[in-house]
Structure 1
Amino acid sequence: MQKLLSRLARSAALAFAVLLTGCATPYLDGTTKEIPISEYKKPASPAPVQLLFEFQTKGVLNAPATSMLKDQVTAQVKASGLFSAVEAGPVPGGATLSLTINNVPLTDDAFSKGFVTGLTFGLAGSQVTDGYVCSATFRATPSAEPITKKVRHAIHTSLGSGAAPSNAVKMPDLKTAAMQMGKDVVSNMLNDISRDANFK
């Protein structure tokens, strides 16, 4: 309980520090970009697949984030042209596609950065970075050798008057940044799967 209270206090202090500055600007890292569906290598005879999607925070299920991104991810997989049908339940043949996006904070001691920014009323800008490790596993049948792919992405949040991070795109808000991050990583994973020699 004491640890929980300590974490809540730290989170509240960070939120207060950001409020003091009046400025927290999200940026989407520019290294990983969305790949157009037209670039995927389409199979000669697409088969149906069961889609399993989960958003995690430090390896633990994050239900609200999963719910926020699930429809978008499902629509992307359906529109990819890699499968004849995309279902939430089991499909004939038993093919499965598991997609996981795991949010892992990359910036050391984000609390201290936000606290310093707050005390200086935004004059000392700082940056917090959240990393996203995105994994995909496709199995054509339950006993088939899995095709596994991994893509990384990041969202930077600039606090106070700090300079914009290099190689990043300014976003209107964190939700928009998260949704675009999802599009970017899913498109990359689908493209990588489509070009795997074992995907037919």
Structure 2
Amino acid sequence: MSYANYLSWGKIQLLFGTVPPGKQDAIEKLINAFYQFHQGVICMKNVMNMGVLSCRWIVFLSVLLLTGCANMYVDSSTREVATAEFKKPDPLHAVQALFEFQTKGVSNARATDHLKARVIDQIKSSGLFSEVSENPVDGGALLSITLNNVPITDNAFSKGFATGMTFGLVGSQVTDGYVCTARYVNGGAPAIVAQARHAIHTTVGNASAPSNATKAANPNEAVTLMTHQIISNVLNDLSHASQFK
């Protein structure tokens, strides 16, 4: 695995995997340090001195460098809904749009900053609103979207350890789940809530590609595709709600 691909995979896991937001800085340092160890720049003692948390990650990072292969797949169960299928209100209204990415229900500021502009642009291009702003708008309409990363495969590290010890001959697969919740309020009307689910699968070593999934060229493409698809689903559901206006 090249240095660029290794860091790309690691940083995407930091942003959108189930690493607790408060541990991200420490793990990012570990990712860089472990690669330097693999290249012979520093010794393992220095890596281990980075803290107890490093032990589990050393196992998983070892897998990537020993097998040289980690592939990501976007689950095909949730597909993109074209804006042409949205039910456009008449007349259109301005809306304040807020977005937050969460990891296990905890706000993840780094991932939020990485995705927010794309999500806001997608809302703007939906055709559901006359204006989309991150600030309050006339009429008080508010659309809040949260994208929560929840673990589906809890024993990722034990699976990774087995893969690493067999140098990729025995593969493993881990899955990250995502729950997107959109909440729309306009004036004094009751809130409209829409929810959709998605998943990204990661295989390491000699693991078969998951069924009903699309292989992504790189980790960033996987996250971008998943986000765009899941947002399109909650926007579509909102647009067809009888109270949406």
TM-score by length of 1: 0.95
Query: In the alignment, which residue of structure 2 is the partner of 1:130?
Result: 176
Q: Are 2:76 and 1:35 equivalent residues in the alignment?
A: no
User: Does the CA contact (< 8 Å) of 2:63 and 2:204 recur in 1?
Assistant: no
Tell me if 1:104 matches 2:150: yes
2:135 aligned with 1:89, yes or no?
A: yes
| Other structure's SS at 1:189 match | helix
Q: 2:190 aligns with which of 118, 141, 145?
A: 145
Deviations 1:85-112 (A, max 9, x none): 0001100011100000000110021000
Residue by residue, what CA displacement relative to the aligned partner does 1:35-75 show, whole Å, maximum 9, x if unpaired?
Answer: 11111000010100000100011111111211111111011
More strand by share: 1
Q: Distance in 2 between matches of 1:28 and 1:74?
A: 22
How many pairs does the alignment contain? 196
Unaligned runs of 5+ in 2: 1-22, 24-50
The structure in which a higher percent of residues are helix is: 2
Distance 1:8 1:46 in 2: 52
Inter-partner Cα distance in structure 2 for 1:59 and 1:15: 25
Residue deviations 1:117-167, cap 9 Å, x none? Answer: 1110000011010000110000012x3210001100000001101100000
Q: C-alpha separation between the residues in 1 aligned to 2:132 and 2:54?
A: 40
CA distance in 2, matches of 1:181, 1:123: 29
User: Which residue pairs with 1:55 in the alignment?
Assistant: 101
Contact 1:51 1:96 in 2 (8 A): yes
2:55 corresponds to which residue? 9
Structure with bigger RCO (C-alpha 8 Å, 6+ apart): 1
- Cα distance, 1:8 vs. partner? 2.9
- RMSD between aligned alpha carbons? 1.1
Could you tell me which amino acid in structure 2 is paired with residue 65 of structure 1?
Answer: A
Match among 183, 194, 201 for residue 156 of structure 1? 201
